[in-house]
Chains A and B, each alone.
Chain A
Amino acid sequence: MMRAAHSAVTSASFNIKFCCLCGLFQLIMRPLTEAETKQVFEKLSKYVGSNIQRLIDRPDGVYCFRLHNDRVFYASEYHVKQASVISRENLVSFGTCFGKFTKSGTFRLHITALDYLAPYATYRVLLKPNAEQQFLYGHNIAVSGMHRITDSTPKYAGVVLFSMGEVPLGFGVAAKSSLEIRNTDPIATGIFHQADVGEYIRGEQTLI
């Protein structure tokens, strides 16, 4: 549904205000440095484990990560080349934004990465329909709202949340391990909210 906007190179000249806020240096599109790559991969590995390799080594083409305007974009070689033609002030997005580096230098995953990470998720949680709505409004999930969870999910592991119909809904962090969950109070928090597809509407202006 919203996917179409994120797979193509997008340019805009109306976005001048946004670009003026950041220094010219950050606007340079460039590959990630080794430290930055490690930071990004460490975050991704929380959700997909060793399946990061599948994102890099793909049979359908060469895909890579690029930093532009503090955001990390995952794009094919073709899209990177196309994007490099657009002047950096006007370049807003290309490929898919996986997340951004905050001002303090930590990497934060965005919901736009969901389509790429969900198929490889190590730990999955299925949500009940009523909890699903709660989650999409940006709330944590109580234990009672969880329909199923992957066996052997450790505490504080990154999980991908799905609806009962296996539609990916967002990212979360397991507040309790799958073993603990069985013996806890149903109203206790089971999943901490990280990102959800509701952000496509709630954060429409900031999401790239």
Chain B
Amino acid sequence: MAAAAATAEQHGVEVDLGNLLACDPRPLTLTASDDVEALIQTEMTELAQLLLDKVWALPLERIEDAVVTTLPKPTTFLPREKPIPKAKPMTKWEKYAKEKGITKTKQSRMVWDQTTREWKPRWGYKKAATEDDDWVTEVPKDSDGRNDPFTEKAKAKKERIAKNELQRLKNVARAHKTKIPTGGILPHTEGKTSSKSQVSQAASFARTATASVGKFTEALPKEAPLTKNQGKKRKFESNLDNFQAEKSRLLGIADGITSKKPRVDEERALGRIKQRSAKPKKSDRPQREDGRGAPGGKRTSFGGGKFAGKGGKGLGKPSKGPANQKIRKPVKSSYRG
């Protein structure tokens, strides 16, 4: 086998140990009588042997019953699996710096701390003292002495942080090609100026947006007094005042509801039409004594004051309407109990 491997190498077989790859660029010469499978198998065996021979020729080590070796760097470059990532969109500063040819200089991680006289990290744990850590500070000459310089310094730092955050968000918005949010509480209207009412509403919101809900907000000269931005309050009628007005109101509503109903009883009208069309001739009609034979026969009157005067608790006189209406026996005599 070793002899075969040696001849293979002579014929220009390339071995890339870094990728554990052996490659024979020679074309296969086949005749019609050759067994293709067997031929490929012998070729492959030869190549594998050659590759393993080269691996075993590398300096070997024994670590806990395992023989290991370090492979050399691969010589064959394989195509990458994923596409090349797109370049990050430049921030506004990066764009500006590129235009002006400003290059970033790497800051050292450690800085010299004058007070402790030693090297300390620029930021993070046990960082070197900055002016934030000063326990004493000068009062500026033009200061009126009312404001605490420490508080002002803290405030200024907070503002710097807020500004930086805003700039970061703007960069993100620009990278995503979305609208850059504007400051303020007014809705962002593109290409339109805010209406007067919107601006005044925003102003009144701003005035009340304090911890004391605008109680100590100083009014600007000529500024209108603060109006309350309250929603509509639900109001109900008085419980005890003006029963007469309420009565007329209720009567109006009742009238509106009852007058809405159709005057024509559709079903009854339809029934009448049906009856009329199905009415047999007089000669064909069965004559019965009680008159209950045909559907359109004599009705049994039920009213006649039977319900009249039954209004309990002295509730007016229900003499009109319902009491005088006819009440009909609903079912045929065959199943009446």
Write the residues of chain A forming the contact surface with B, with a CB cutoff of 8 angstroms: 28-31, 33-34, 37-38, 41-42, 45, 49-60, 62, 64-66, 77, 80-81, 84, 115-116, 118-124, 126, 128, 130, 143-144, 146-152, 154-155, 166, 177-179, 181-183, 186, 190
Residues in chain B near residue A81, CB distance under 8 A: 240
- Which residues of B, 240-288, contact A by the 8 Å Cβ criterion? 240, 243-244, 246-247, 250-251, 253-258, 261, 265-268, 271
Q: Are A119 and B251 in contact (CB under 8 A)?
A: no
Q: Are B250 and A166 in contact (CB under 8 A)?
A: no
Majority-rule SS of A interface residues? mixed
Q: Closest CB of chain A to B313's CB: distance in Å?
A: 7
Residues in chain B near residue A182, CB distance under 8 A: 295, 330-332
Q: Closest CB of chain A to B305's CB: distance in Å?
A: 12
Q: Closest CB of chain A to B174's CB: distance in Å?
A: 50
Residues in chain A near residue B316, CB distance under 8 A: 54, 58-59
Write the residues of chain B forming the contact surface with A, with a CB cutoff of 8 angstroms: 236-240, 243-244, 246-247, 250-251, 253-258, 261, 265-268, 271, 295, 299, 302, 306-307, 310-316, 318, 321-322, 325-332, 335, 337
Q: Are B330 and A190 in contact (CB under 8 A)?
A: yes
Residues in chain A near residue B299, CB distance under 8 A: 151
Partner of B253 from the list A34, A49, A55 (CB cut-off 8 Å) is A34
Residues in chain B near residue A53, CB distance under 8 A: 251, 254-255, 258
Q: Are B237 and A31 in contact (CB under 8 A)?
A: yes
User: What separation, in Å, do the CA atoms of A84 and B58 have in the docked complex?
Assistant: 105
Partner of B265 from the list A37, A149, A152 (CB cut-off 8 Å) is A152
Known A149-B327, A166-B307, A166-B310; further 16 A-B contacts with Cβ < 8 A: A31-B236, A49-B321, A57-B247, A60-B314, A62-B244, A65-B250, A80-B240, A118-B312, A144-B331, A144-B337, A148-B327, A148-B329, A154-B267, A177-B267, A179-B268, A186-B331
Can you name the residue of chain A whose Cβ is closest to the Cβ of B300? Answer: A148
Instruction: Give the 9 A-B residue pairs with the shortest CB-CB distance, closest first.
Output: A119-B311, A50-B258, A151-B326, A31-B237, A52-B254, A181-B330, A186-B335, A30-B236, A179-B271
Can you name the residue of chain B whose Cβ is closest to the Cβ of A186? Answer: B335
User: What separation, in Å, do the CA atoms of A186 and B310 have in the docked complex?
Assistant: 30
Residues in chain A near residue B315, CB distance under 8 A: 54-55, 58, 116, 119-120
User: What separation, in Å, do the CA atoms of A81 and B265 have in the docked complex?
Assistant: 43
Q: Are A42 and B295 in contact (CB under 8 A)?
A: no
